[in-house]
A and B are shown apart, each in its own frame.
Chain A
Amino acid sequence: MRPNVNSGFESDQWYAVGGSAALAAGRLMPATVLESELVVWRDSGGTVHAWHNRCIHRGLRMTLGFVDGDTLACRYHGWRYGAGGKCKVIPAHPGMIPPDDFQIPAYAVCEHAGLIWASIGAAGDSVDFDGPGEHLRFCRDLVVRRAPERVSALAKRAIFRPYGDGEDDLIYEHREIAPSVIRIDARSGGDTATIMLAIQPITADRTGVHVLAGGETTDERLHYAAWARRLRWFMENPDAANSSWNPLSIDHS
């Protein structure tokens, strides 16, 4: 039951699944892209992997497992899987070399602009858009209980008040700088503040939104984190009474 093909959310694209900084070496996290469950993990050397979230032996979710050096271990029988999803060790038979076809399907994964990106289809070599610059950093992962198409449309009219600025004379520009990546610039006089929203189609009615925003000081980061929380609430309640707190209150379409 995938979102229909006309939604623009194709399997052959890169989708952000989380902030790079939120996944430390030796840790794993679950992610879902277009209904497919992934395990995303970072080995002890710092390399990120994204695989089908299922052990080939008895079907256990690999997200219940644990990272052991440069391998991911299944929690059920301790099978260790290394680069490319290849099975390296089967503890029940310590001397056995696992056959070549004992392999978990591995997906393309890369890190760019402070985010981890994965593709469950045949995406290009890496995420292809200019980074937002040094002044933006990972702010929040949101999960919105709305369809990806709907969230994407709402993201294209989201506005924000730049940290430290008044609300006068702001001019907003929304651009889709890559499939599923929306950049919002707010200009006031000669200054520009930027927020970037990377949309992750999770299921037909759940959507991830990964927010990059300014964050030189704690106060600035709190300002944008509070904005992100409000953005999610109004995306889930788009018919709520208008409010100066509503990041979607001005229609720029």
Chain B
Amino acid sequence: MERRLNRRRQLELKLDEDLTIDEARHPQASDAAASSRRDAARLLLARGNWAEGFVDFEHRPFAAPSDRPLWSGARLPAARLVVLAESDECDTLAFARFLPDLAARVLSLTLAVPADEVERLMSFAGAFGGVPLVDATCLPPHDLVLPLASAPMVLGLSPEEVPPPRLAQRARRNGGAIGLALASSPWSSRDETAPGRVVAALRQAFPGQRLMALDQAAASQLGDKAGEADPAALAELDLVVATDGPVAHAAGVVGAPLWLLLDDEPPWMWGRQGLFSRWYPTARLFRADGPGWLGVVEAVAAEARALAASGLSDIAALDRLAVAAEGVDGESAARAALPFAARLVALEPTVPARWARLAGLLLRFGDVEDLDRVLGIGLSVGARHAPLLLFAAHRDLERGKPAAALRYADLALGADPAATDALTIRADAFLALGDLSKAEFALRQAVQAAPRRARLLVAWGDMLRKLGDVRGASRAFERAVIAGDDADARLGLGRLAEAAGETGLALHFLGSALARDGGHTEAAMEFARILAAAGRNREAIGVLRRLIVHRPSPPARAFLGELLLASGDFAAGLAEFEWRNGEARALPSATDLVDRNVVLVAEGDVGALIRFLRFVPMLKAAGAAGVRLAGADELAPILAAVDGLDGGGEPEEGDLVLPMMSVPALLGLTVDDLSVSHAYMRVDPVAVTNAARAFAHLDGFRVGFALDGMSAADAAALATVSGAAFVALDAGAAARFHTAWPLAVDQAGLDRVAAALPNLDAVVAMASSPIAALAGAMGRAVFVIGPDRDDWLWLEKDGRTPWFPTTRLFRRRLGDEKGASLSRLTDALASFASGDRAIPFRVEPAPTAMAISESEPFASPSSMLAQAGLAASRSRDDYRAALLLGDAIAAGASEPELRETLAAALLRIGERDRAGRLLAALVAEAPTAERLVELSEVDRLGGRLEEALAHAERAVELRPDAAGPHRAVGKALVALGRAREALAAYSRALAQAPADPELLMDEAEALLIAGDYKNGFARAEVRWRAPELLPRRFSAPRWGGEDIRGRTLLVHGERELGLDIAFARFLPQLALQGPRLIIEVRPALTDLFRRLDLGGDVTVVEQGRRLPPHDLEVPLRSLPNVFGIERDGLPPPARFQPDPLRVEAWRRQFGGGDGRPAIGVYWRNAEDAALLASLADVHDIRLFALDRRAGRASLAMLPNGLGMEPLGDRLGGFVEMAAAMTALDAVIAPVSATGHLAASLGRRTIVVARSATDWLWMGEDRTPWYPDAHLLRPDGDLAGLLRALVLERAAT
């Protein structure tokens, strides 16, 4: 590398002084050493290491027909460059792609080729990008030369940066022929030609195809004359099958589908592996898998056979077969689909989707290098193709390059901001980058884009859980379960429940997760873990056993091993436990120990390590010459005192290296072999004496505490031990017992603890503390708190452990009061202190009576779920309620109350169908008014209006004295368009509940629908009392219509932007009364309202900002009430005035030249989009998407065949939207702020109104609110209406 740089520098210097030949560059004699170095260089190049490979490659012999110096690639705008073709190093056509880039750096560039090549190459002129070709024997005047094969070097390229060939895509004609070129490569040292059996294979697979020889070797095979491989001839061919040579490159350059046959030592440009190459997108590479051409014919034959069915060029058939093979899971299916995908790519190399499919297949079988190439080519033809970008992002994420992945994901999002795949990859990338909150945001966006996709909800929930938002995570998982009941969501819920201490629920969720997916490893592991923690070891073992049948994995087996060991089944347990390191090692047999130096590799925590040291003498007894311990540095100070151990060591020092925890399996031990009756660890006597002196002042029975990890409450219980002197052995004890004598101010080393132990009468330690094990190993009396679950490192039974004879365990037992185990401990400790030395050895079986009475501590699952579900319902946690009650009912709970509550919860979360089914069943069982009312609601919302009315009327029959049934009747009638009758129903309801604001709102709506605006708007004032609108407090009084000349009036907007736009029509009338106006609207509307010419003193302020002083206030939507407006007296819509310059700009854009009318279309969701289908038949219009938030986001929702032009970010706010609308010929929009705006502007507007019972958008075709707007019901003829509008325009 450095050499090359030096040489370059030297060259550049020379260039400045004098243009002479660089002698060093042209060695006169190339000796054998140089030749072998060149071979090494080619090897480096072939491996893709171009940076280093070119250093030596540059020393290749090169007979320059010029005395000019070599060019270094530096920008020399005054230099004339001649590039010299090297017909013995590379193919001129292949390297031609670099010429334009080179030409950009110099004044002029000429390619010099051998005289006999000129004519042939000229026919490929396009491949040279306009660079002139000359005969090498008569060079034009020039300053510098460059051998062609050095082009990538001077450009500083790497193999991933090879640009595609220059020639534009060919005009393909299906000539029904396959071209063959079988000569050996002119750039290779070999001269064997490709085996002729290729011919037979092709004939067999494609009997209908003519085989055409393109070189002499093929001609002799075919017994034919060799044809010329010029662009015209190549365009006729369905396929070119060629060895590496001029024909292959010609085919590659013109983009003919090419099967390139490579022997085992291909020229370096093809690299060492891969089916595809960046050099030629249409090439499919067949490489020898052994010496010579081994395997190439077989591979070609296999590929040909695969394609025989579809034929070579039937795109539809290829597509069909690719889809069929792709649809099957697994690697082999992906491989089966590969020939079709590769063929499709070769046929249509400029279609990004083809590359995306190929990339998808490669990803499936993990061919990373080809994936890189394919993605590179694909992105070079479709840089914004979302699937390709996602594949690239996915690939980079897997390779640990989250920043790169993020860039691709962002590019994909640029094309579609709501693409959930891109958002999830973005989230994964942020997660990998450690930015959890951004990851969460990305997932939240994804969930918003696809609110019912369980997988996204689960991912979002997991992220929220990581962020500590338990409630949010829980909600996400609940929604996921409701949306699509899957094991992952239930696993998440189980984890949350466990963290919240709700073991019963956690077990339910995990159990039900496993019921849905028996092979769900994580769920099963978690389930087993919680079961074991709850003391239900046997069940946990069962869970793991079943999991291992489904999906064996080392962690599961190791965990099963632990549980089996904990249950005392050592034979099975030790065998499974051998999986703990990811694989089951074959253990040496005990006889292998004889005379070996054994090195034990530490495993587990210090406590485990101390336990296993007991086996050292057994290893010695089995004949081991020496036993050392590796990887236990923290134990080094006390290792000297372990029976039989020869100190620490490193694994390489041993003849036999054993994981520590494999020793019992190796020795074939059982539970009974664990106990060692004597202390097997000792301490340096000097250290003991020193510790003793430090303790000499302690009066009384000495108790050492090791309480790391203990709760403060438990510690308080321990403090009741009286008359004892306490010593804090760890930080936890020092923090909790200020009266205890701290062994050390900081964390005491284990050696200090060990020295202290002989001076202590008893140790009280948490089961998790290594000090518990250390004291046990030293034979001191130990009172252990815990363990909290069955643990094979304790094997607790009746308070004893076989591991340590002087240790007694105090575990929480089934049915224990809180702290009962600790009070048993303190009692025992007191007895021990008063002289009963047998206390540590005492067996303490659990009282049998208690065990029986407490054997059913959990309520039945269904009632537990029902309780939890009802509690969730009471706290309005509807998703949780729906989930838990659903589970409860599935588990057998059948109380009608549960199902009613479930139905209500389902309704509230929008699960109407489930709620409806449930309610129908309940009504069938026992019709009650409440059920019928809810069922009526479900039917009404589901559009079954007659049924809704029938149910409501039945409810009225059952409960004529309740408001609810009457109200339901009213709502059904309103939906049926019978507003007058509805008013009667509402008045009956109001007789029962005269002050119910929601009822009053319903009545107001009916009045408005009925056209009684005066009463309707008056009644609508009650909206401030309804729960969904937060009341606002103003210091100024409400304006009631009195004279306000010269006073300041605050007019404030409400929640719906569209209604604010519609009600703006009342502002001119208000302005006429002469007040100073302050108009407060939501931020999105402020600019629009400022473009309203009201005359007089008007200030528009953003809602949420500080309000200027004012005398009176009135809601914008209360104005018709104040003015006493009737339907007939509606003022015209507000005249928002867009900027004429912007309108002109938009008009120019929409004009577009061809005079077709420009139609703006807005849709919010797939439902809206579906209504646009009929527009596909209207050909003489142009459609523009008025979706200003999402740009091209929702283009994917559109029905096929709609040519929709996105306007995207240019749309800006409502003001810009208004300008665009003004420039459009017509607008189609659903009921929305956009629809209101278009209608207000007086454009030809088609408003798609779903409901005929919206008081503003009701009527057959027109609404009095917008006389110019056309109303269209979903079943209306949109295309016809639009045609009429367009014709209308044409007529005018």
A and B pair up: no
Query: Could you list which residues of chain A lie within 8 angstroms of chain B, going by C-beta atoms?
Result: none
